[in-house]
Copies of this chain bind each other. A is one copy, B any other.
Amino acid sequence: MALRHAVLAALLDGEFSGYQLAKGFDIGVANFWHALPQQLYAELSRLEGEGLVAGREVVQEGRPNKRLFTVTDAGLAELESFAAAAAKPSFIRDDLLVKVQAVDGVDAAPVIAQLRERAAVAEAKTEVLGALLRRLRGDLDEDEFLRTGRRIGPYLTCLRGLAFERETREWCLRTADLLARRRAEAARGRAGG
């Protein structure tokens, strides 16, 4: 019952097709919501059926036609009441943290490798988010943009995403190094006596 609100929030930034949302959910809104293309298409259809978004067919040359969606007044009202309702506590679900939790009982090598890989992914994301932030604020500096900008919601959520990715990177690198050092120590211990 909440993907719908993420979709409505995403559509506040303009007209999008299901396909565009499916691509773009990886940046911006994807910082705090994740959905597969099938879910987005299905949700858009449902939202349209309930009159919360309006779709229009755009005929294209050289590629399939597409349907662009915008939020209706009813959709805005729905968002309004969603925003006013009590928020459920957020939660993270992360395989990699489960592995780290279990790392004392299993071989650490693959966990270390995955931590380093995740750190690289997080670093790439910080760059994408940094670029997005620069684009959103245009030529204003951050403080001025946040004081005077008309559309600051996406900027604020990107800031959260950026902080998250930075923290993720730091922690992954620190944890990977630590586990690697412990492995080296253990190996030395076994070899040396």
| Chain B residue nearest to A86 in the complex (CB) | B114
Does A52 sit within 8 A of B, measured CB to CB?
Answer: no
Contacts of A106 in B (CB 8 A): 76, 79-80, 83-84
Among A1-9, A40-48, A58-66, A127-135, the stretch that binds chain B is A1-9
Number of interface residues of A (CB under 8 A): 68
B94 contacts A93, CB within 8 Å? Answer: no
The answer to whether B32 touches A92, judged by C-beta atoms less than 8 angstroms apart, is: yes
By a CB distance below 8 angstroms, the chain B residues around A99 are: 9, 82-83, 87
Distance, CA A29 to CA B107, complexed state (A):
20
Compute how far the CA of A174 lies from the CA of B182 in the bound complex, rounded to whole angstroms.
Answer: 39
Least CB distance, A97 to chain B, in whole angstroms = 4
Contact of A97 among B8, B90, B171, B178 (CB under 8 A): B90
| A118 interface contact, C-beta 8 A | yes
The answer to whether A192 has its CB under 8 Å from any CB of chain B is no
30 interchain pairs (CB within 8 A)?
A: A2-B93, A8-B102, A10-B101, A12-B105, A32-B92, A32-B93, A33-B97, A76-B106, A82-B98, A82-B102, A83-B99, A83-B111, A87-B114, A87-B118, A89-B121, A90-B97, A91-B92, A91-B93, A91-B94, A97-B157, A100-B153, A100-B156, A100-B157, A104-B150, A104-B152, A104-B153, A146-B178, A156-B178, A159-B171, A163-B170
